[in-house]
Structure 1
Amino acid sequence: MSQGKFRTADEAVALIGDGATVALIGGGGGLMEPTHTFRAVSRRFLETGSPRGLTVVHALGIGDKKTEGLNHFAHEGMVKRVIGGHWVWSPRMQRLAAEERIEAYVLPSGCVMQLYREIGGGRPGLLSHVGLGTFVDPRHQGGKMNASATEDLVEVVRLGGREQLFYKSFPIDVAIIRGSFADADGNISLDQEAANIDVYAAALAAHNSGGLVIAQVRTAVDAGSLPARSVRVPGAIVDAVVVDPEQRMGYDLPYDPLVSGERHGPITLDPPEPLDVRTLIARRAYRELREGAIINFGVGIGEGVAKMIADRGETGRYHQTIEHGTYGGYLMTGTMFGYARSPSAMIDGPSQFDFYAGGGLDIAFLGFGELDENGDVNVSRLGGLTVGPGGFMDIAQNARKVVFCGTFDTKGARASVTPGGLRIERAGDVRKLVRRVDQITYSGSQALARGHEAVFVTERAVFELSRDGLVLTEVAPGVDMRADVLDAMDFKPLIPRAPRVMDAALFAA
């Protein structure tokens, strides 16, 4: 086998110049993350002080909430600007943003992926309705997450009588991507990966900006040995290939052909969850499903609905999707969110977000950090920390119906689920139903303008979005509506008629 484009990780990252704009690929838990190459970039900076002054761009959250992923770039001086879709996987980068040591921007994950495609196509930017009325809208914050972020990356324009957001293009100097196999010509196959995400779009953006594409793979193969249909990134746009024989599907997953979709097989289900508050919320949310619906689940309590579908053997009744580009199968949860066993299809992330933006989703089950009387939701800035929406905004703004799943309050809250209903043992120290959210990640007014539905399910009560405000529709048995619901909120919901009592069957063991 000839040397071709193969390089060591140290040789490859030596190609990254000071001040470069670098597109990073990966998802939380190590999904599609070129960890070996990321470590080499960090090592080079710590040893030599270079590369410095980078602009880092990433669509999804990348890391393990400790040291991996985006954390390898979280060195003061190494990075001057970060444009990220989701930050929670990198507490080091969150801290740099909070301390004003970097310029911090947040854009919706889908818009970042689609913007790569626009950059690669030589177009001036991305036109999208996603983000209107939220913190990404320049009439609010324009995606700027700290005082150091001063450049306007997003504009409001009007075309064909409709308002749109215009996400401006910028050159990508380097894309660090990942695959399974590479031949000496640099052709990259993703056959043994858990998702496609934005690998091709980022590589295209870098190449057509006159930049470099560095690809990490687990296995090198002879030129001409990869089937053409297995190649997802052609060697014509790849400059350097790094081989890491220890590359894993994820931090906690070496390799599983069921997850890559190479094989379909029986799944060993996790034990049923205990009947606690989170399970109760998922049970109630599950009742919003309808046969044949195309659905999406967000990280958190919404995952519990996916687990119920699997536990009940109902995966064939609905069309499940993940924003990473995966359809069907058995969705994995927690740190493995974004993975699925025995998926039925895998497409590229930008195309998946096209599907969402066009209104292809029937129902989405998502979490919420704060909810206010306008039906606005915040998941992107909590407790003063930059979190970012990930794909939340692209999904929530476009699904025909969104079921928000979350606890009524937080920080020290305790409640027990009993056959007779819900028993509140201690109220949380932090209210989540507030007069005004700290940051708008989901705009209730935009949802109403598009004719979409929104239901908010908590353990104590259920609310629905109406044109006049938030309506209280259900209350859990065992709960004092005045003391445990109305007096525990910062605003008064609409109560046009007496709320229903939640079905007692939800509380059965």
Structure 2
Amino acid sequence: MKDKIVTADEAVALIHDGDSVCCSGFVGIGTPDELIMALERRFTGTGEPRNLTLVFAAAPGDGRDRGLNRVALPGLVKRAIGGHWALLPKLARMATDNLIEAYNLPLGTMSHLYRDIAAHRPGTLTQVGLGTFVDPRHGGGKINASTTEDLVSTIDIDGKTWLFYKVFPLNVTLIRGTTADPEGNVTMEREALVLDAMEAAMAAHNSNGLVIVQVERIAASGTLDPRAVVVPGIFVDRVVVARPDTQAQTYGTAYNPAFSGEMKVPSGTMESPVLDERKVIARRCAFELPLGGVINLGIGVPEVVAAVAAEERLLSHLTLTAEPGLIGGTPQGGLNFGAAINIDALLHQNQQFDFYDGGGLDLACLGMAEIDRCGNVNVSRFGPRLAGAGGFINISQNARRVVFAGTFTAGGLDVVVEDGRLRIVSEGSKKKLVESVEQITFNGSLAAQRAQTVLYVTERCVFQRVPEGLELTEIAPGIDIDRDILAHMDFAPIVRNVRLMDPRIFLPQIMGLATVLLDSQMSERLSYDAERNTMFVNFEGMAIRSNDDIESVRRVLGAFCDRIGHKVSLMVNYDGFRLDESEADAYFEMVRQLQLKYYSSATRFTTSAFMRMKLDAAFSELDSASHVCETHAQAAAHATRQLEDVAHGPVGEPGAGG
């Protein structure tokens, strides 16, 4: 069929009873409302099709009536398999009321299942979900008693336990794009995200299924830029041109070219949040921000961390990401959630989760609803209210460091910050630190086994997951441990060396956090071997973007060498080091000054040929005291030769004996 363009009603008429229907969408981004409305219209008018299985990764809905909420109709849906449910309350109620079979699987794993269905693999093998409610030993992601089929099983490989998520058929895929041609090639230039459109389309196509695409316009054959085509026409069966009111870029914005990366816009000044309990929590979380690191910030209190980072002029030192594929930029909130402005790159959603699952995040700051004595966290299920895991399991389980952020109690909590102290005016009616969470979305014991750093930050105290359990490590000034903390917990935490939270958190002025973090994190990169009189500096992955960064290096290295008290042999790892061109001259001049004052010799190494060239040029006039190598082994050998030369040199020779 050369011309694939049909009406929405003609397209959904091809869906049969019992089909598995995959629907794209992240809130309102990429949600094919024209097709969903046509499916609703067909069922309410004819009673067909019946007993569908709905499949979705991130909830395509607005928390009320739009998206898949439209088709939460008895008889139409038999089963639902989803990654996130919070924005699909009508469908979620059918699940919790036991009216349909229902599963909640991790969002990232859902994305990866599309690829495995397309490739005719038996399933997705991963450790994501171990020890949580999707582990078959804890329920296998089943939402209710009507759900009996096992989609998740355990497999032991080389002494390690893995989860195996079984593939399931996709008979129909509904996706959204911007432009299509009569052959069905689809571009997404005005979409804020590409999500898993291509992978889900391929999954249905390779299963001999049907792929229907909603777009806003049609181009002539042969006129689309092949590099811009996200879904090739060979995967597409029908194309539907949507009405404008069903093709909004997000549920909050009809169209913003900055959301689709068509232009960069002034980021503006982020409003400074008032000093309340949310800002107190966000400020304490900000002390954990890894400068130069890659970060995921969840919704709720973690969103305030971005505002605090902006206030403290830290955003230029961080790369923020979001699970639907965003790298860099400023993520948006509300019904624009999932979109961002001024991004650096946009990945497919499943690619982002490859990155996350592989440990690519230096820090994740996420919300928390319930915590228990083991450090387990629940954000996914509360009695009849089904929120779902979304990307929480993938992110929290695999980030190098995790900070959970939220108030200590809920339901009417009222606190004030005054005179550098926290005062509780009215305690919340609901305890959040409970003996046992209702559902395990994050497994604290598993994190401890993996030596993952996990903090739990509230407005009045901080806990850390240590090998023995949950330990109280910090309290706010003005807080009494017995009265304000232990009395409102269902279990006794470990209490041994409790210190005060940083007093700057509770004062109205800017904390000066940039200097604090620059210096503290720079200090962690230094070590000294007195026996060999060698100072080691690890600049791997570090970025120099401003004069403040340069001054931090000067300040910390100078103070470190002053404490040693004599010249040292230096070895520096420059692998992955990033230096803004505008700061290069100032940076190398600073390093030359340090070398003349503190180092008897210097050996630097990096696998980057470009950086070796820059370093050679910068220190060419110091060739007798400075050497640049490609690998650590070469640098170590060169440094050893230098030490031997110094050791056998004449007494009194400059640098002899350090």
TM-score, with structure 2 as normaliser: 0.75
Counterpart Cα distance in 1 of 2:22 and 2:320: 29
Q: Do the aligned residues in 2 keep the contact of 1:356 with 1:399 (CA within 8 Å)?
A: yes
Displacement of 1:379 in angstroms is 0.7
Change (3 A) 1:279 1:356: same
Unaligned runs of 5+ in 1: none
Aligned length: 506
Q: Does structure 1 residue 54 correspond to structure 2 residue 52?
A: yes
1:107 to 105, 108, 114: 105
Structure-1 residue corresponding to 2:641: none
Displacement of 1:308 in angstroms is 2.8
Q: Do the aligned residues in 2 keep the contact of 1:331 with 1:341 (CA within 8 Å)?
A: yes
Residues 205-238 of structure 1: per-residue CA shift (max 9 Å, x gap): 1111110111111121111111111001000000
Structure-2 residue corresponding to 1:426: 426
Q: Do the aligned residues in 1 keep the contact of 2:102 with 2:142 (CA within 8 Å)?
A: yes
Counterpart Cα distance in 2 of 1:118 and 1:444: 30
Displacement of 1:316 in angstroms is 2.5
User: What secondary structure is seen at the aligned counterpart in 2 of 1:200?
Assistant: helix
Q: How does 1:332-351 map to 2 (within 5 A)?
A: 332-351=332-351
1:67 to 36, 57, 65: 65
Structure-1 residue corresponding to 2:250: 250
Displacement of 1:391 in angstroms is 0.3
Residues 392-439 of structure 1: per-residue CA shift (max 9 Å, x gap): 000000001001011111112222222332211222121110111101
Q: Which amino acid aligns with 1:157?
A: I
Q: Do the aligned residues in 2 keep the contact of 1:219 with 1:245 (CA within 8 Å)?
A: no
Q: Which amino acid aligns with 1:252?
A: G
User: What secondary structure is seen at the aligned counterpart in 1 of 2:93?
Assistant: helix
Residues 269-288 of structure 1: per-residue CA shift (max 9 Å, x gap): 44322222112111111110
Q: How does 1:14-413 map to 2 (within 5 A)?
A: 14-28=13-27, 30-246=28-244, 247-413=247-413
Counterpart Cα distance in 2 of 1:419 and 1:15: 68
Counterpart Cα distance in 1 of 2:199 and 2:311: 36
User: What secondary structure is seen at the aligned counterpart in 1 of 2:250?
Assistant: coil
Q: Percent same amino acid at aligned positions?
A: 48
Residues 288-310 of structure 1: per-residue CA shift (max 9 Å, x gap): 01211111111111111123334
Counterpart Cα distance in 1 of 2:37 and 2:272: 38
Q: Do the aligned residues in 2 keep the contact of 1:310 with 1:330 (CA within 8 Å)?
A: no
Q: Do the aligned residues in 1 keep the contact of 2:273 with 2:308 (CA within 8 Å)?
A: no
Displacement of 1:186 in angstroms is 0.5
Counterpart Cα distance in 1 of 2:124 and 2:388: 19
Q: How does 1:489-504 map to 2 (within 5 A)?
A: 489-497=489-497, 499-504=498-503
* Residues 414-423 or 452-461, more deviating: 414-423
Residues 315-363 of structure 1: per-residue CA shift (max 9 Å, x gap): 3311211110110011112332211101110011111101111111110
Q: Do the aligned residues in 2 keep the contact of 1:409 with 1:430 (CA within 8 Å)?
A: yes
Residues 136-195 of structure 1: per-residue CA shift (max 9 Å, x gap): 000010001111111101000012322110000111000101111111111111111111
Counterpart Cα distance in 1 of 2:415 and 2:74: 43
Q: Do the aligned residues in 2 keep the contact of 1:419 with 1:504 (CA within 8 Å)?
A: no
Q: How does 1:422-461 map to 2 (within 5 A)?
A: 422-461=422-461
Displacement of 1:65 in angstroms is 1.0
Displacement of 1:313 in angstroms is 4.5
Counterpart Cα distance in 2 of 1:342 and 1:136: 36
Displacement of 1:490 in angstroms is 0.6
Over 4 Å off, 4+ runs? none
Q: Which amino acid aligns with 1:216?
A: Q
Q: Do the aligned residues in 1 keep the contact of 2:2 with 2:183 (CA within 8 Å)?
A: no
Q: Does structure 1 residue 480 correspond to structure 2 residue 480?
A: yes
Displacement of 1:71 in angstroms is 0.2
Q: Do the aligned residues in 1 keep the contact of 2:250 with 2:335 (CA within 8 Å)?
A: no
Counterpart Cα distance in 1 of 2:160 and 2:30: 37
Q: How does 1:459-470 map to 2 (within 5 A)?
A: 459-470=459-470
Q: Which amino acid aligns with 2:185?
A: N
User: What secondary structure is seen at the aligned counterpart in 1 of 2:203?
Assistant: helix
Two-structure CA RMSD over aligned residues (Å): 1.4
Counterpart Cα distance in 1 of 2:168 and 2:99: 22
Structure-1 residue corresponding to 2:417: 417
Counterpart Cα distance in 1 of 2:313 and 2:23: 37
User: What secondary structure is seen at the aligned counterpart in 1 of 2:486?
Assistant: helix
User: What secondary structure is seen at the aligned counterpart in 1 of 2:304?
Assistant: helix
User: What secondary structure is seen at the aligned counterpart in 1 of 2:95?
Assistant: helix
Q: Which amino acid aligns with 2:398?
A: N
Q: Do the aligned residues in 1 keep the contact of 2:370 with 2:379 (CA within 8 Å)?
A: yes
Q: Do the aligned residues in 1 keep the contact of 2:83 with 2:104 (CA within 8 Å)?
A: yes
* Residues 261-270 or 88-97, more deviating: 261-270
Displacement of 1:112 in angstroms is 0.3
Change (3 A) 1:196 1:312: farther
Displacement of 1:312 in angstroms is 4.4
Q: Which amino acid aligns with 1:163?
A: T
Q: Larger relative contact order (C-alpha < 8 A, sep ≥ 6)?
A: 1
Counterpart Cα distance in 2 of 1:161 and 1:436: 29
Counterpart Cα distance in 2 of 1:82 and 1:456: 33
Q: Which amino acid aligns with 1:409?
A: T
Change (3 A) 1:312 1:9: farther
Q: Do the aligned residues in 1 keep the contact of 2:173 with 2:212 (CA within 8 Å)?
A: yes
User: What secondary structure is seen at the aligned counterpart in 1 of 2:164?
Assistant: strand
User: What secondary structure is seen at the aligned counterpart in 2 of 1:164?
Assistant: strand
Structure-1 residue corresponding to 2:635: none
Counterpart Cα distance in 2 of 1:343 and 1:151: 41
Change (3 A) 1:308 1:183: farther
Displacement of 1:504 in angstroms is 2.2
Change (3 A) 1:264 1:152: same
Change (3 A) 1:312 1:238: farther
Counterpart Cα distance in 1 of 2:310 and 2:502: 22
Structure-1 residue corresponding to 2:3: 4
